[in-house]
């Protein structure tokens, strides 16, 4: 039985590391949860943006309540889920881990911010981060 990837809105791209972690043949799904979108106050523009991203990806789209669909659709498969700062998604992931084999996969950061960077002013941060953020050859700021 192949693995399953829950591709949520924080990772809607085909080169996310979750695809490599899940391996070839893993089925990627996205859940269009109207209640979640309404609760979050998503505008029509944001919904269209998500829809357009989904149209460019070769994944299964399901409609309904996220946690319920994940529970039923997983059907004993290993789940691979991109890490997210979203508290609701984190809660869903915690609940899924109680019943399923779940692996969360971190994204490749645009920049890694050292502890000593002054974040009170964007300009000071950007002076440190811009070289690594805009140059693919240098990689993340270390």
HSE-up of 80 (CA within 13 Å, CB side)? 21
Per-residue pLDDT, 114: 66
Q: What pTM was estimated for this model as a whole?
A: 0.78
Q: Say if residue 140 is in the same domain as residue 87.
A: no
Which tens digits make up the pLDDT trace of 21-58? 999 999 999 999 999 999 999 999 999 999 999 999 98
Torsion of CA 69, 92, 33, 110, to 10 degrees: -120
Q: Does position 138 have pLDDT exceeding 60, yes or no?
A: no
Q: Say if residue 101 is in the same domain as residue 113.
A: no
> How far, in Å, CA of 85 to CA of 102, rounded?
17
- Split into its structural domains, the chain has a count of 2
> How far, in Å, CA of 119 to CA of 80, rounded?
33
Torsion of CA 41, 43, 46, 50, to 10 degrees: 70
Confidence of residue 142 (pLDDT cuts 50, 70, 90): very low
> How far, in Å, CA of 102 to CA of 96, rounded?
7
Q: Say if residue 56 is in the same domain as residue 85.
A: yes
Which tens digits make up the pLDDT trace of 99-134? 999 999 999 877 766 667 666 777 877 777 777 677
**Structural domain harbouring 15:** 4-105
Q: Say if residue 15 is in the same domain as residue 72.
A: yes
Which SS3 state, helix, strand or coil, does residue 107 take?
Answer: coil
Closest CA to 101 of 35, 32, 38, 26: 26
């Amino acid at each position: 039985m192949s693995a399953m990837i829950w591709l949520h809105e924080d990772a809607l791209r085909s080169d996310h590391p979750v695809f490599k972690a899940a391996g070839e043949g893993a089925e990627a799904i996205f859940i269009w949860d109207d209640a979640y979108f309404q609760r979050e106050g998503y505008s029509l523009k944001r919904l269209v943006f998500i829809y357009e991203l989904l149209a460019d990806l070769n994944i299964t789209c399901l409609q309904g309540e996220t946690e319920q669909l994940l529970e039923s659709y997983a059907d004993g498969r290993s789940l691979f889920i991109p890490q997210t700062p979203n508290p609701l998604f984190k809660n869903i992931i915690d609940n899924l881990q109680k019943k399923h084999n779940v692996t969360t996969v971190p994204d490749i950061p645009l920049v890694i911010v050292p502890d000593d960077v002054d974040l009170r002013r964007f300009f000071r941060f950007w002076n440190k981060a811009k070289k690594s953020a805009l140059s693919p050859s240098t990689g993340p700021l270390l």
